[in-house]
Structure 1
Amino acid sequence: MAEESAPTLTQRGARTRERLIEATREVFEEIGFLDARVSHITARAKVAYGTFYTYFDSKEAVLRAIADRLFTDMTRPGRPPLSGASPAERVRRANRSYYEAYLRNARMMAIIEQVATFNEEFREMRSRHRAAFTGRSAHAIRRWQAEGVVDAGLDAEMAARALAAMVDHSLYLRLVHGEGDDTERFLDTLDALTVRALGLEEPQS
């Protein structure tokens, strides 16, 4: 879903809206969505209280704008694969790209996960993000099946969903809850589990 459309703004208006978005993200990351007030946001953005409602009708509306950008960042292809990279090497690069994107957005991901537990719109937005993530993985698995490097009998869609759930939840526990302290071992383990689940040959060290 693209960031919600806004009325045509002057350059000054666009800058003010951007300040509000940036200020909101800072406030949410510091004190959380539930405790945040519009007054906190406008104080951080250094604008009058009423200015907020010129651009957004609620803090949920500005969170939508933030979430749209976040999910665009999360689903954007990251490190381009090296020329001639094996499927296992592509898995490794994809996992690290997603880790880096999650690390940039971990605090907001925690907030969106929280809001999604009680807000249907954000639950659907989170589902669309997962679908974009798993869809790209399923496409890669089907291609590797066609090339004969992944078992053709494997359900590509279900495999992509299961592996994405493993990666996503593992990153959530590590980056939001702070579980674990050895990043390389953590990422190497995710790589190994993904590669072995798909029956790919691991790159030679």
Structure 2
Amino acid sequence: MLTRVGVEGSDGGERSGDFVLKDGQSLSEDMKDLFSDIKSRFVRQFECFQLCCAPAQSVLDFGATVNAKCERADMSLSKEEIKCMIFISGLGDSHRDLRHECLRQMEKGRSATPPRTIKLETLLEECRAIQSLQSSSAALGNPGQVHAIQSRPQKALDIELMPYYSNELDDCFQHCRGFE
């Protein structure tokens, strides 16, 4: 059975041609994609951890809210995903760029085919690389002081003292050899 959604007309017929479907399930999926929440999966999951039962709210209503929000956020999380979520949500405003990159890595892993779970270790390596690049960039941008190597003229040893030094060193080496 074919279903056509949209209004026929000069423009409407062309645009609605994209919605010619074989079943209602495909229409449901397309509408879900078009009108779904624009928040990332991570943000929706994080919001679930922020839910609190209001004093005036009944426990059953709160339970229904938790159920709906968790279903919407796709809360089937692995241990690694929970670790990553805690890590990312714990990064402060001073680490905004790291938080952004970690979120990008999480979304990239989720949208990969097949989806792959990003490990906390991977995020930490990414953060180390970013911080290393930032410090290198800062060093290149600010030449600061030039650290030159200066040489000092060396004093020549007195020839008369040479036998004294060499005899003393020989005694030291012989003493150390006794401990071998």
Q: TM-score, normalized by length of structure 1?
A: 0.21
More helix by share: 1
Identify the structure with bigger relative contact order (alpha carbons < 8 Å, sequence gap 6+): 1
Q: TM-score, normalized by length of structure 2?
A: 0.24
Larger Rg: 2
